[in-house]
């Protein structure tokens, strides 16, 4: 059904949100970890639910410790979670998966501390990615959002935009995600697609559809065209989705064509049209990137731009000996 596809689309393409509180510093984000303190005030009863004493109550079974550890982890109470893992290990020291969870949490706590001290940008990025993946995979969504925002502030990269939007989605903060997209200094089409994805995740299909209709494909690169086609399909604009797919494949360099077609063949947004003649015809589209006289739709964005400031997929059109200052697309 459409709601499932919307959620999977949003997750698969990864996302974000922004408010004043997003200007989190490293000191704020990891102060509790560096001090060796847990950050959750929630307590659990013997069944793993919320208690009212403000403390962890004794448990009746060793199996409960692991469940409590995971619950505490999701609520950013890292050191309390670590203690629960230790208690579980006393009764199950040979449980390989338990040992792995425990050791991984210890490693994450160490890396969180290292992140504050790291000056090298590449090393910082590697550590941040490991923390981000751990938080995301284990449902530690508040920390996932915080680290995603920090990564975006450092990089201004579209991948980190998607990471932040994904974190906001997991927290159910769709309005904050929209507010964040309003702060992005990126091409208008790109921002529109981010917003449409947020609206899809929030089950506001009509708003997503309106935005999808307003995107100008002439200024989209192949990857953006693919994302637009998926949004169009998810919002019921099936004919437009097929047309956009065709344009995507025509404008893609040869090395991008196979991965893009693989994505189209496997993503669920196209399930309703995958067996149609129109979709099959679009999937047979060949790249025109190296065809004489062909100008990709995204060229319009880079008119007047120095060649060393353009993306790689634009610079790769060397065989055509293009003068970038005269590279225009007719309206």
**Model confidence pLDDT, tens digit, residues 116-138:** 898 899 999 999 999 999 999 99
Q: Give dist(CA 242, CA 94) in Å, integer.
A: 54
Q: Which residue, chain included where needed, has tokens 């000191």? A: 27
Average pLDDT over the chain, rounded to an integer: 75
Q: Give dist(CA 140, CA 258) in Å, integer.
A: 35
Give me the percent of the chain exceeding a pLDDT of 70: 69
Residue in 266, 198, 277, 190 with CA at minimum distance from that of residue 238: 277
What is the model's pLDDT at position 256? 87
What is the model's pLDDT at position 156? 83
**Residue pLDDT, tens place only, 68-98:** 999 999 999 999 999 999 999 998 899 999 9
CB 166 within 8 A of CB 174: no
pTM: 0.67
């Amino acid at each position: 059904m459409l709601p499932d596809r919307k959620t999977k689309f949003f997750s698969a393409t990864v996302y974000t949100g922004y408010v004043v509180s997003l200007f989190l510093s490293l000191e704020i984000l990891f102060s509790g970890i560096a001090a060796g303190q847990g950050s959750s005030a929630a307590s659990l009863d013997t069944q793993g639910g919320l208690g009212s004493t403000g403390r962890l109550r004794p448990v009746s079974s060793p199996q409960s410790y692991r469940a409590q550890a995971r619950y505490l982890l999701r609520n950013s109470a890292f050191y309390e979670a670590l203690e629960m893992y230790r208690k579980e290990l006393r009764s199950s020291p040979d449980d390989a998966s338990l040992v792995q969870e425990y050791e991984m949490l210890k490693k994450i706590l160490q890396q969180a501390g290292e992140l504050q001290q790291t000056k090298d940008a590449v090393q910082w990025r590697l550590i941040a990615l490991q923390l981000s993946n751990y938080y995301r995979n284990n449902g530690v969504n508040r920390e996932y959002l915080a680290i995603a925002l920090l990564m975006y502030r450092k990089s201004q990269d579209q991948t980190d935009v998607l990471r932040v939007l994904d974190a906001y989605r997991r927290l159910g903060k769709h309005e904050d995600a929209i507010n964040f997209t309003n702060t992005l200094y990126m091409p208008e089409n790109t921002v529109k697609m981010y917003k449409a994805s947020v609206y899809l995740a929030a089950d506001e299909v009509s708003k997503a559809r309106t935005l999808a209709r307003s995107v100008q494909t002439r200024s989209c690169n192949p990857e953006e065209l693919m994302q637009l086609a998926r949004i169009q399909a998810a919002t019921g604009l099936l004919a437009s989705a097929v047309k956009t797919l065709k344009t995507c494949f025509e404008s893609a360099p040869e090395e991008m064509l196979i991965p893009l077609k693989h994505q189209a063949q496997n993503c669920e947004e196209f399930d309703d049209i995958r067996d149609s003649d129109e979709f099959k015809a679009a999937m047979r589209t060949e790249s025109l990137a190296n065809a004489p006289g062909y100008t990709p739709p995204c060229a319009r964005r880079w008119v007047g731009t120095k060649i060393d400031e353009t993306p790689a997929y634009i610079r790769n059109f060397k065989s055509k000996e293009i003068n970038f200052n005269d590279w225009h697309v007719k309206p």
